[in-house]
Amino acid sequence: MESLWSDQEAGSCKGDALKLRVYTSRLLGRQPELVLHGGGNTSVKTRAPDLFGDQQELLYVKGSGWDLATIEAAGFAPVRLDALRRMAELETLSDGDMVHMQRAAMTDPTAPNPSVEAILHAIIPFAFVEHTHADVVVTITNTDGGEDIIRAIYGERVLIVPYVMPGFVLAKKVYELTRNVDWSKIEGMVLLGHGAFSFADDAKTSYERMIRLVSEAEGYLKQGGATSFASARSATVDLIKLARIRKAVSDARGEAMLASLDDGKAAAGFSNLADVDAIATRGPLTPDHVIRTKRIPVIVGDDPEEDMQAYVSTYRAYFEQHTDGNLTCLDTAPRWGIWPGCGALSFGRSLKEAGIIADIVGHTMRAIQQAETLGGWQALAEKDIFEVEYWELEQSKLGKGGAAPEFQGKVALVTGAASGIGRACAETLLAQGACVAALDINPDITSLFDGDTCLGMTCDVTDDARLAAAVESTVRRFGGLDIVISNAGVFTASERIADMRASSWDKSMAVNLSSHQRLLSACIPYLEQGVDPAVVMIASKNVPAPGPGASAYSVAKAGLTQLARVAALELAATGIRVNVLHPNQVFDTAIWTQEVLASRAAHYGLSVEEYKKSNLLKVEVTSHDVAALACAMAGSLFAKTTGAQVPIDGGNERVI
Ligand code: ZN
C-alpha cells in the first residue's frame, strides 16, 4: 500500500494539529482497504485555552456518524483528556454511561458524540492515533495461527490485543495490557479479529506507520501466494428468480427491499467455488460489519422461499441462544446472499444501503479467499458477533428512525414519463422513496431520469420487444417490480367517424390501448413477485363522457378501462391491484398543444381560460394533481381497492 501523504497538501495545515488530523484522516478514508463506510477512527491530542484562559488538554476524536473519507474539523469531538483517562481506571462502565460521561466531558456541546473508542485513544500517549479495520491485517488474524503470523511479521514493534468487545471493555483491556509497556518501543497494535492501531507524535509518522503495517501484511500474503482470486462469467440471470428472492427477503424483513446483483467476474467466481456455502457462512470480516451485513449471508438454491425460511429459522435460533432475555430480536432477513453461478446479492431498503453492503461484501469475498490460502477462514465466535449486533448502543437506536417514505424499497415503472402526467408520476414516486424506471419515446428521458434511483429508457411502447426489454432492465437493476403506472398516450386530432382516417384510428389503438396490454403482459410475471403490487391505468373522462370527434381516443381509452377491469378480476388472486384514473382537462401535458387547446375551446364556444376551468368546481387540474392521486392508488391507501375508476376532472355533470 502506498502512502498518499503529500508535503505540498500537508503544507497548508502547517502548525494546526486539527487541520493535519483532518488531512491524514481523509488519506486513510481514501483507501477502502483500510476503512469502509464510517469504519475506523482517528484522534489528535492538543492543548487549548478555555474561555477563562486556563489551558485544557483535549482529545479531538472522530465523532460518530462521520466518515473518514469526508471528515471535516467539525466531525471531531473535543473531549477533556483527564476525564477520559480517569474513565479508563473505572472497574466497570456500561456503554450507555460511557457515552453520557464522554458527552459531559466535551468542551463543545454542539460537536458530535465522540467515537466509542475515545477512551482507548486517550490512554495512548502519543499525539496522533489512527485506527483502521485494514482488510489484510484482519484477514491474517481471522485464520488458525493468525496470531503467530502477526507476531512473525511485526515482532515486538506491535502490541497484540486478543479480541474483546469494542468500547469500554477494549479500552480497559489495552489499559491493563500496557501498564508495564514501554510505549516508545511500539508503533502500533493489532486487535485480533478487529483491526489495527498506529500512533506517533507527528501526523505523517503516525499515518505512515499504518501504511507500513498494512504493506508488511500485504507482503506476507503475497509471499504466501494469497493473491489470486476466483473469476468466472456469470450464468444467465433468471430474472423471475431474482424477483422471487427479493420478495422472500422483503417478506422476511416485513418491508420492501431492493435486491442488487453483482454478477461481475469476481463475484461470479466466488459464487462458483465448490465450498462457497461453507466458507461464506463462517462470519464477517470485522465485527462492526455485522450491523450492516448480519453475521452470515443466505445461500440461494433452487427454492428461494425455502432458503429464506431456513435463514430465518437459523437467525431465530442464533438470537435465542445468545440473548439474555432482555433484548429485542431484530428483523430476521439476510442483508446479502450468494447465488451460485450468478454472483453476490445485496439487499437494502434503499440502493444506498444495498451499495454499502455490496462494498463490504466485495472486501469480504476477497478476504475469505486469502484466508483460505493461509489455512482456513475463521471468523469470530457467534457470541462475539452477537454482542456487537445487539450492542446496547445499537439497541437504543431501535424504533427511532422515524416514519419511512411510502414507497421506500419499492420499484415502479412509468410509461410516457418525459412530460405531463407521466413525468409528474415518476417524480412523485421518486420523492416518496421509490426506485423508478421511466420510459418514453422522447430520448430526453435518459437524461431526465438519470441517477442511482431512477432509470430513464427510450422506448416506443408500440414496439413489443423494446417494451419487454425495458421491463427486464428494470428488474435487473432494482431486483423486482411493484408498481406500474401505465400512462403513455396520444391524443389524435378531432375527426368525426365519417371522415376518420385509418391511420389516426390505428395509431390511437396502438398507443392508447394495445401497448398497455403488452406492457401489462410483460409485467405480470414480475408483479406476481412484487410487494403489494399495483397497476394504475391512466384512462380519461372521455370513457364515461365521450365527445363528438374523439372516437379514436375515446374508444381506445374505453378499451383500456375494460382491460383494467378484466385484469382486476384475473389478477386479484395473486394480490395485484388494478385501478383506473379518469383525468380531464389536464393542460400541462404534451398532448395538449396550444393548437389542440384552441380547437377544443372553440368547439365548446369558450375562451381557452374558460375552457381550462370548465368544470363544476371551477378549478384547474394539473398533472401533479393527477400524479398525487395515481401514487395514492399505487400505495397503502388503496391497499384494499381493485377494479375502481376514479375521476379527477374538477367535477363533471356527465360523469357524475
Ligand atoms: Zn474498530
In this prediction, residues 189-203 reach a mean pLDDT of: 96
Distance CA 533, CA 179 (A): 62
Question: Does 521 score more than 80 pLDDT?
Answer: yes
What are the residue ranges spanned by the domains of the chain?
7-223, 239-395, 411-648
Cα 39 to averaged position of ligand 1 atoms, centre (Å) = 7
Query: Could you give the dihedral angle defined by the CA atoms of residues 70, 73, 79 and 84, in that order, rounded to the nearest 10 degrees?
Result: 40
Cell of 163: 479480541
- Tens-place pLDDT, residues 411-465: 999 999 999 999 999 999 999 999 999 999 999 999 999 999 999 999 999 999 9
What local confidence, expressed as pLDDT, does residue 403 receive? Answer: 83
What local confidence, expressed as pLDDT, does residue 48 receive? Answer: 84
**Which superfamily, per CATH, for 7-223?**
Class II aldolase/adducin N-terminal domain (3.40.225.10)
Spatial contact of 334 and 347, defined as CB atoms under 8 Å apart: yes
Whether residue 553 lies in the annotated active site? yes
Cα 75 to averaged position of ligand 1 atoms, centre (Å) = 17
Cα 16 to averaged position of ligand 1 atoms, centre (Å) = 26
What local confidence, expressed as pLDDT, does residue 357 receive? Answer: 96
What local confidence, expressed as pLDDT, does residue 323 receive? Answer: 94
Cell of 520: 401489462
Report helix angle 239-253 to 464-478, nearest 10.
Answer: 40
In this prediction, residues 533-559 reach a mean pLDDT of: 96
Inter-CA distances, 598 with 211, 389, 553, Å: 72, 65, 18
Cα 292 to averaged position of ligand 1 atoms, centre (Å) = 14
Cα 194 to averaged position of ligand 1 atoms, centre (Å) = 6
In this prediction, residues 521-534 reach a mean pLDDT of: 98
Ion ligand 1 nearby residues (CB, 5 A): 195
The CATH architecture one would assign to domain 239-395 is 3-Layer(aba) Sandwich (3.40)
- Tens-place pLDDT, residues 257-315: 999 999 999 999 999 999 999 999 999 999 989 999 999 999 999 999 999 999 999 99
- Tens-place pLDDT, residues 316-354: 999 999 999 989 999 999 999 999 999 999 999 999 999
What local confidence, expressed as pLDDT, does residue 401 receive? Answer: 66
Distance CA 389, CA 289 (A): 9
What local confidence, expressed as pLDDT, does residue 623 receive? Answer: 95
Spatial contact of 41 and 61, defined as CB atoms under 8 Å apart: yes
Question: Does 398 score more than 70 pLDDT?
Answer: no
Cα 287 to averaged position of ligand 1 atoms, centre (Å) = 8
Confidence label for 391 from pLDDT (cuts 50, 70 and 90): confident
- Tens-place pLDDT, residues 27-65: 999 999 999 888 899 999 999 887 788 889 999 999 988
Cα 576 to averaged position of ligand 1 atoms, centre (Å) = 46
Question: Does 161 score more than 90 pLDDT?
Answer: yes
| Residue-wise DSSP of 85-138 | HHHHHSS---HHHHHHHHHHTBS-TTSPPBPTTHHHHHHS-SSEEEEE--HHHH
How many C-beta atoms surround the C-beta of residue 229 within 10 A? 15
With 0-12 CB in 10 A as exposed, 13-18 as middle and 19+ as buried, what is 222? exposed
Question: Does 537 score more than 90 pLDDT?
Answer: yes
In this prediction, residues 2-24 reach a mean pLDDT of: 92
In this prediction, residues 80-90 reach a mean pLDDT of: 94
Mode of pairing for the β-strands spanning 298-299 and 336-339: parallel
- Tens-place pLDDT, residues 346-381: 999 999 999 999 999 999 999 999 999 988 999 899
Contacts of 594 (CB under 8 A, 6+ apart): none
Domains 239-395 and 411-648 share a fold: no
In this prediction, residues 623-631 reach a mean pLDDT of: 97
Mean pLDDT computed over every residue of the chain: 94
Distance CA 132, CA 195 (A): 6
Question: Does 592 score more than 90 pLDDT?
Answer: no
Cell of 254: 416485513
Confidence label for 527 from pLDDT (cuts 50, 70 and 90): very high
In this prediction, residues 494-506 reach a mean pLDDT of: 95
Confidence label for 493 from pLDDT (cuts 50, 70 and 90): confident
What local confidence, expressed as pLDDT, does residue 396 receive? Answer: 67
- Tens-place pLDDT, residues 302-313: 999 999 999 999
Distance CA 495, CA 500 (A): 6
Q: Among residues of the chain, what percentage have pLDDT more than 90?
A: 85
Q: Which helix (H) or strand (E) holds 398?
A: none
Cα 195 to averaged position of ligand 1 atoms, centre (Å) = 6
Cα 121 to averaged position of ligand 1 atoms, centre (Å) = 11
Question: Does 397 score more than 70 pLDDT?
Answer: no
Cα 117 to averaged position of ligand 1 atoms, centre (Å) = 8
With 0-12 CB in 10 A as exposed, 13-18 as middle and 19+ as buried, what is 86? middle
Q: What is the pTM of this model?
A: 0.92
What local confidence, expressed as pLDDT, does residue 400 receive? Answer: 63
Confidence label for 409 from pLDDT (cuts 50, 70 and 90): very high
Which of 60, 526, 553, 611 is labelled catalytic? 553
Distance CA 31, CA 1 (A): 9
Distance CA 226, CA 375 (A): 10
Cα 197 to averaged position of ligand 1 atoms, centre (Å) = 9
Cell of 513: 390501448
Cα 569 to averaged position of ligand 1 atoms, centre (Å) = 56
Question: Does 224 score more than 90 pLDDT?
Answer: no
- Which class does domain 411-648 fall in? alpha beta
How many C-beta atoms surround the C-beta of residue 179 within 10 A? 6
Spatial contact of 386 and 372, defined as CB atoms under 8 Å apart: no
In this prediction, residues 382-403 reach a mean pLDDT of: 80
